[in-house]
């Protein structure tokens, strides 16, 4: 198997809002289809960031005329993106496999990890995207073992506070050695007491740890 990691930025209904409202997004794109030169892109997304920023993002996307069938539940939402112009997912074919969800950072960059049994299938996708979108960078292209392909698992059922606590810990390098931030600083960012933050973080870690252990087997 061949695996490729890409960094892409374009006129994206998700990426532009991640940059505008300073949130990140993890999304799964389903099979796209085209009818009468229009691309329909069904997808599920989950936002990470400050609650107020997420609220602004969701309120703003409701006004976008390029989406259909919007359903929102907490920080997650489903929609069908409808575009006359071609977008990266327009060029995804049955020859490509998403090995991780698409991640969008606070600068609006999308990070794709796709795989195929033939490198030419990946090259064809990249070349087709480049005809429409110039801001695309290959971060990695390599042959890999089948066992290295990551199949997404369902995220444990974390509460909003638990999700926010674990996000802040990673964003502020809490797990680095030496630590990039102390518990007190993270609690202050989250606007809760240190014991409360510690409780949220420990409960999140307890739910996530079984997946980490199982992935090492």
Residue 152 DSSP code: P
- Rounded to whole angstroms, the Cα distance separating 108 from 176 reads 25
User: How far is it, in rounded angstroms, from Cα 61 to Cα 78?
Assistant: 11
* Together in a domain, 17 and 123: yes
**Do residue 136 and residue 57 come from a single domain?**
yes
Q: Is 11 inside a domain boundary?
A: yes
134 and 207 part of one domain: no
Structural domain boundaries enclosing 184? 160-215
Q: What pLDDT shows up at residue 32? A: 77
Answer for the pair 116, 6: CB distance below 8 angstroms, yes or no: no
Q: How far apart are CA 62 and CA 56, in angstroms?
A: 10
3-class DSSP string for 182-209: CHHHHHHHHCCCHHHHHHHHHHHHHHHH
Residue-level pLDDT at 170: 82
Say if residue 138 is in the same domain as residue 176.
no
Question: Quick one: 111 and 166 in the same domain?
Answer: no
By three-state DSSP, how is residue 165 classified?
A: helix
Residue 133: inside a domain, yes or no? yes
Query: Is there a domain that residue 154 lies in?
Result: no
Residues in Cβ contact with 134 at an 8 Å cutoff, skipping those fewer than 6 apart: none
Q: Do 20 and 105 belong to one domain?
A: yes
Cα separation, 93 vs 29, whole angstroms: 12
Residue 24 lies in a domain: yes
The Cα 140–Cα 101 span in angstroms is 16
Please identify, among 148, 173, 188, the residue that sits at the C-terminal boundary of a domain.
148
> For a pLDDT cut of 70, what percent of the chain falls above it?
91
Q: DSSP letter at 95?
A: T
- Same domain as 123, residue 81: yes
* Closest listed residue to residue 156, CA positions, set 91, 207, 89, 216: 207
Confidence tier at 217 by pLDDT (50, 70, 90): very low
* 76 found inside a domain: yes
DSSP at 155 = P
Q: Does residue 210 have a pLDDT over 80?
A: no
User: What does 91-105 look like in DSSP terms, one character per residue?
Assistant: G--TT-EE-S-EEE-
Whether residue 139 lies inside any domain: the answer is yes
Residue 155 lies in a domain: no
Q: Is residue 153 part of a domain?
A: no
**d(C-alpha 4, C-alpha 27), whole Å:** 18
pTM, to two decimals? 0.72
Q: Mark whether 177 and 142 lie in a shared domain.
A: no
Q: Is 141 helix (H, G, I), strand (E, B) or coil?
A: strand
Q: Measure CA 6 to chain center.
A: 13
Q: What percent of the chain has pLDDT over 90?
A: 52
Mark whether 57 and 136 lie in a shared domain. yes
Residue 153 — very low, low, confident or very high, per pLDDT cuts 50/70/90? very low
**Residue 212 above 60 pLDDT?**
no
Per-residue model confidence (pLDDT) at position 63: 95
| Domain boundary residue, one of 91, 119, 148 | 148
205 and 143 fall within a common domain: no
Same domain assignment for residues 81 and 129: yes
Number of domains in the chain: 2
pLDDT band at 131; cut points 50, 70, 90: very high
| Average pLDDT score over the chain | 87
């Amino acid at each position: 198997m061949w695996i490729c990691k890409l960094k892409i930025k374009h006129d994206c209904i998700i990426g532009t809002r991640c940059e505008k409202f300073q949130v990140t997004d993890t999304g799964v794109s389903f099979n796209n289809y085209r009818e009468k030169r229009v691309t329909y892109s069904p997808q599920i997304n989950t936002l990470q960031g400050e609650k107020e920023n997420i609220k602004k993002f969701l309120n703003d996307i409701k006004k976008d005329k390029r989406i259909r069938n919007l359903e929102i539940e907490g920080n997650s939402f489903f929609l069908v993106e409808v575009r006359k112009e071609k977008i990266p997912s327009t060029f995804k074919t049955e020859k490509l496999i998403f090995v991780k969800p698409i991640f969008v950072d606070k600068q609006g960059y999308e990070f794709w990890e796709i795989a195929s049994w033939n490198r030419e299938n990946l090259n064809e996708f990249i070349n087709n995207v480049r005809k429409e979108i110039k801001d695309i960078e290959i971060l990695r292209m390599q042959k890999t073992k089948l066992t290295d392909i990551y199949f997404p698992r369902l995220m444990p059922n974390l509460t909003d506070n638990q999700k926010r606590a674990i996000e802040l810990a990673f964003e502020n390098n809490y797990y680095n050695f030496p630590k990039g931030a102390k518990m007190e600083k993270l609690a202050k960012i989250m606007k809760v007491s240190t014991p409360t933050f510690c409780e949220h973080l420990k409960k999140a870690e307890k739910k996530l740890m079984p997946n980490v252990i199982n992935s090492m087997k």
